[in-house]
Structure 1
Amino acid sequence: MASQVKRRYDASARRQAAQANRRAILDAARELFSTHGYAATTMSDIAERAGVALDTVYAAVGRKPAVFLELVETALSGTDQIVPARQREYVRAIRAEPDSKHKLEIYARAIGDIHGRLAPLLRVAQTATHPEVREVWQNIARRRAANMRELAQELAATGQLRPELGLDEITDIIWATNSPEFYCLLVEDRGWSPERFTTWLADTWHRLLLA
């Protein structure tokens, strides 16, 4: 019995250590990519900054493109783990909310939070010449477009949107205005506060979409 308890304890301790290493690796990579750029940051740099062996970086996350992808995914989820879109708390809240106005307000708040985390990674992607980084960003954009079509369908089903708007147009409006590029233009380039952006985004969607 004692040996079983010890094995469970050892397994739990190993999991906690692995999670701590992964968190340290991602924190180190985020800082180095943001300050030095993707190309100038080596896997050895990440390992040194994280305080782990190089082999640990490969085992915990993977090669450099995988590290960048993990950073994007965790920025989207707002947690240390990758969370599929449908399982995120704000998505569940949007689906549970019957009113389109409130659905859009929930989503605008979520976008403000997400892009606060994602904006530094956009700058990394914009300055990186590596095709694997562009591919990660393009895949995220395509996935976002597919998710926006699902949101457009949910909004249209309430019967509260402008009747002349089709699903494609609703999808495109939300997809364009919820992009990290759009956030960076107003918050980073024009000096808006994140709170002002969130309020403006919800109001803009109300004006453009609601009947």
Structure 2
Amino acid sequence: MASAPPARPARIAETRQKRAGEAMRQRSRERLVLAAAEVFAEQGYAGATVTAIAERAGVSLRTLYTAWGSKRRLLRAYVEYTMTGSPTAVTEGTWVPQLQRLLDPESLADPQARMRQVARIVREIAERMGLAWRLVRDGAAIDPGVAEDHAELERLRRRSMAGLLEGIDEGSLRPGLTLDRAIDTTLVIASPSAYETLVHPGGYSMDEFERWVGDTLITALLADPRP
């Protein structure tokens, strides 16, 4: 009696189909995030509808709900995308280490250089996230779920600043200023509201904003703010 043919080719085909399906789903998820960004920019969070986002992405409503579940989750994904280039990097916990890798090694031992580096990183984030910050702020006023996300993002901002100041010599800080208070101060100076006040509608260029953040951090935090 002849033996049954090996099942390996069928398993290989099934694996390839599964990978192709996962890749297609991932492309749909990313396309929806980009479409949501366009619709949010045009209509705001309150005015945007899942129907408009699905139409802009060229997918069905069912695909949208399967991929993201709600408009709120799409906004959250858009925020994470503008932060990291990935709609899941914050969820996966890779954001703070990614930020820390942006610090030049020489700045780790030079407090003034560290403040300048923080200002540069804040400027780069602000350039990507200006719209996202406004959308979350406005959405939080009308959607309790977005308000929860906003609170979580504020906690993430604190962890981010703590990561950027990690290892700084506390002796280089102003007398009586603890590292925790230094992080609090940095959160206020390098904040979305500071960006919106100074750049829009304040008229600062991004170079001026970065310089202001660096100068203000050095003056507010360091024991010796002289250049």
TM more than 0.5: yes
Between stretches 54-63 and 74-83, larger displacement belongs to 74-83
1:154 to 158, 164, 167: 167
Report the equivalent of 1:197. 209
Report the equivalent of 2:183. 171
Structure 1 residues 139 and 201: alpha-carbon distance in aligned structure 2, compared to 1, 3 A threshold: same
The reply on whether 1:103 has 2:110 as its aligned counterpart is no
- Residue type of the partner of 1:193? S
Shift of 1:121: 2.0
- Gaps of at least 5 residues in structure 1 are none
> For 1:8-34, what per-residue CA distance to the aligned partner results, in whole angstroms no more than 9, with x for missing partners?
443333233222211110111111112
Shift of 1:183: 0.8
Report the equivalent of 2:24. 17
Shift of 1:151: 4.4
The reply on whether 1:142 has 2:155 as its aligned counterpart is yes
> TM-score, normalization: structure 1?
0.85
Between stretches 143-152 and 98-107, larger displacement belongs to 143-152
Alignment of 1:109-148 (within 5 A): 109-128=120-139, 129-148=142-161
> For 1:138-189, what per-residue CA distance to the aligned partner results, in whole angstroms no more than 9, with x for missing partners?
22113323443454553245x3222332234312210111111211111121
> TM-score, normalization: structure 2?
0.79
Shift of 1:66: 1.1
Looking at structure 1, the residues matched to 71 and 187 of structure 2 have their Cα atoms a distance apart, in angstroms, of: 28
Q: Secondary structure at the match of 1:133?
A: helix
- Residue type of the partner of 2:100? V
The reply on whether 1:91 has 2:91 as its aligned counterpart is no
Give the fraction of aligned pairs with identical amino acids, expressed as a percent: 30
Structure 1 residues 110 and 152: alpha-carbon distance in aligned structure 2, compared to 1, 3 A threshold: closer
Q: Secondary structure at the match of 1:206?
A: helix
The question of whether the paired residues in 1 share the 8 Å contact of 2:199 and 2:206 is answered with yes
The reply on whether 1:38 has 2:39 as its aligned counterpart is no
The question of whether the paired residues in 1 share the 8 Å contact of 2:32 and 2:57 is answered with yes
